[in-house]
A and B are shown apart, each in its own frame.
Chain A
């Protein structure tokens, strides 16, 4: 079993979600290319310019100087050509309607900073420090600002950009002033940036050690060096100046010469299918004068795939629906398990934890194999242990588990005197609930082929796992192991891959095989042959680790004449139909969204090999059949699933049928006769939709009748009464009939009616029950 701390640590340290795209580390300005491109993709040139301007200081100058080192790193360089970022930079400058800088109304700072050299690097440093309202003095040996720019571009072009960017800032410019002694500067200033150009004076502070470090802290406190003095090209020199400004700002505040570690590469990994989808479209060629029109720029920006490691979020419905990725999930779950207040406010992820299908796809698609689903499962356990998970999210399903393992539904049969080895058919609790014939026909087949096959009808404990009740689950595993040992350690034949997965995870000593593999190996005679047609197999997510089982289903289908067409998600990347985690009570809206998505994954009818997938899709109107429907020639494409109450009756019928057929049991087990309950189909549907069982309704009516506690409406003669089923309070509206009751309505709430509090001592609690 995984450890939650280890999983947390993996999410924090190994998740690549926040890694830079390939291009950014090579950019001297570390421009946020993804955001820049996003703005251009939607045609927001002003916003793109603002971002670019903030990153490069002098947008007009830098867009002309930039050598686009990012293009050598671009993942599209072999898929139509690297995104033409330099042309896009120029386009954002060309088409921005407002190129003036922002004016920041900040209080002036007392600290004085000296800049030696008025080239692009010194000016960039001065600009940022002036933006932060430092008192900045620039010393320039020559009679003009711009340094190397004079030889690179027309002076009016770069001088206009410099003037524009400094339009709201004050600074002292001392031309024709050569600094020869740094000590003098350091006496009068808090820090100094030396950017004296390619062959400029480094004041003997430049060493091999400082060159390798950018931005450049010298060995003298408060002195920093950068720009072409340190070998930088023109664009990089500007970047040095901007970075030095950040470090000087930090130095003045903290006295620490070391700035943040420079960005060193990226660990990003992206799904190669993303590139394949681009179709290798080539770089947009500028139509006029080597510069893009607005439309061309937008089109070229759209070629960028904005590299991001987000496979989990792309494939996992939960992450997509909530727009949350692993790091944020980890943070929110952490504060939910460890709330900051005594009354437990701010537990933002409670419902989210209960909304994970636990399908494991996140781990499957993650390049680092981070198991966010398991992290949520273990978090769920912790929440339950602390009694912090609302009981309502899972109580219904835990009661369903209880029913499946009750004497009315559970059953074990050993043919003849086989008590050693052989096989054990474990159909799971939902297959028979969906249709008893699935289990009966499958078992008959198995007995025909392998007479030493026992049968065990019970729940594997999945609802306990999904509700976070690991103690209950451990107890079920212990019971199953005892039974399995008693049966002589047989190989277990599974019809449900969820049961199989849970067995394998918790009882790895039990050998398993899928029913469909046995059917294929033994050559089952299908009742239905040649209803030719195209179908898609919707694999259950739990069959991810069982390729033989998945293939067996497809082979069986082909034998009956079907042509199988693939779905976008199948096999190892199968997605959950919505059943996993039993999330529908915790989050009905998300469940509905997910089911709708799943039924539209493929246009063709689905063949499934999980009865839960079948029943969920059939209820949503998708043409769907279980592979056993095909094999045994049973239900057609639009067969409605049984109601939740019907599922319980099916389990009981199945148990009774098997007991009568195999054990000669005459009397129905647990023989208390239930009163007849009649209702309209609309009420029946409502009960099913709101997960109110007919058994619960009968319990409430019995309580009302035996205690006399109810009220009636004189206009209709209907009685209304309530009773608690588990923690739930269920209300019924009914009338008594000759042979039972007629139900008109039922509804339930999670709040408990606190009777003893209410009646202020006029009645005792016992009087009210």
Chain B
């Protein structure tokens, strides 16, 4: 459901599109595709991603 979710950037008033976003934690960097505003780059990270994949990566880096 989240994959097809339509979100609009409040500032640019255009629909968000999947685009690459970079993250960092504990001196490590990684990237993944998330919904972003094609104009200003504002990202949207749904809770599902935070609780699942992101949490797993966070935990594995803490225990590395």
Contacts and interface: CB of A to CB of B under 8 A. Distances in A.
Nearest to B7: A711
Nearest to B11: A708
Interface string B30-58: 01000111001111110100110011011
Interface residues of A, number: 39
Given A709-B10, A711-B8, A749-B55, 14 more contacts: A350-B62, A351-B62, A392-B58, A711-B7, A711-B42, A712-B7, A712-B10, A713-B5, A731-B50, A749-B50, A750-B58, A755-B43, A758-B19, A768-B41
A392 B55 CA distance: 12
A753 B44 CA distance: 11
B50 A758 contact: no
Contact of B63 (A350, A755, A759, A763): A350
Contacts of B58: 392, 749-751
A176 interface: no
Contacts of B11: 708-710
B62 A751 contact: no
Contacts of B10: 704, 708-712, 719
B41 A745 contact: no
Given A711-B37, A758-B20, A767-B40, A749 B45 contact: yes
Given A709-B11, A722-B45, A749 B22 contact: no
A345 B27 CA distance: 13
A477 B35 CA distance: 48
Contact of B7 (A347, A713, A722, A768): A713
Interface of A: 344-345, 347-348, 350-351, 390, 392-393, 704, 708-715, 719-720, 722, 731, 745, 747-755, 757-759, 762-763, 767-768
Nearest to A346: B64
Contacts of A720: 7, 44
Contacts of B42: 709-711, 768
Given A712-B8, A731-B47, A747-B51, A752 B25 contact: yes
Contact of A754 (B19, B24, B40): B24
A762 B57 CA distance: 28
Query: Secondary structure at chain B's binding surface: helix, strand, loop or mixed?
Result: mixed
Main secondary structure of the interface of A (DSSP, over half): mixed
A753 B64 contact: no
A351 B63 contact: yes
Interface of B: 5-11, 16, 19-26, 29, 31, 35-37, 40-45, 47, 50-51, 54-55, 57-58, 61-64
A751 B55 CA distance: 9
Nearest to B25: A751
| A722, A750, A757: residue with the most chain B Cβ atoms closer than 10 Å | A750
Nearest to A733: B47
A709 B5 CA distance: 19
Most buried by A among B5, B8, B44, B57: B44
Contacts of B31: 758
22 contacts: A709-B10, A710-B10, A710-B42, A712-B8, A713-B5, A713-B8, A714-B8, A719-B10, A747-B51, A751-B24, A751-B25, A752-B23, A753-B21, A753-B23, A754-B22, A755-B41, A755-B43, A758-B21, A758-B22, A758-B31, A758-B36, A763-B40
Contacts of A714: 6, 8
B44 A711 contact: yes
A711 B21 contact: no
A731 B45 contact: yes
A15 B24 CA distance: 42
B41 A763 contact: yes
A319 B50 CA distance: 32
A745 B47 contact: yes
Contacts of B36: 758
A750 B9 CA distance: 24
A344 B62 CA distance: 11
B41 to A, nearest CB: 4
A762 B41 contact: yes
Contacts of B37: 711
Contact of A758 (B16, B41, B47, B64): B41
A767 B40 CA distance: 8
Given A714-B6, A751-B54, A754-B23, A392 B45 contact: no
A747 B24 contact: no
B54 A749 contact: yes
A344 B16 contact: no
Nearest to A393: B62
Contacts of A392: 58, 62
Most B CB atoms within 10 A — which of A351, A390, A393? A390
Nearest to A727: B25
A759 B41 contact: yes
A186 B41 CA distance: 87
Nearest to B10: A710
Given A350-B62, A708-B10, A711-B16, A752 B24 contact: yes
Contacts of A731: 45, 47, 50
A708 to B, nearest CB: 5
B51 to A, nearest CB: 7
A384 to B, nearest CB: 14
Contacts of B9: 711
Contacts of B54: 749, 751
A650 to B, nearest CB: 29
Contact of A753 (B8, B43, B47): B43
A345 B62 contact: no
A719 B29 CA distance: 28
Most chain A CB neighbours (cut-off 10 Å) among B5, B7, B9: B7
A757 B22 CA distance: 7
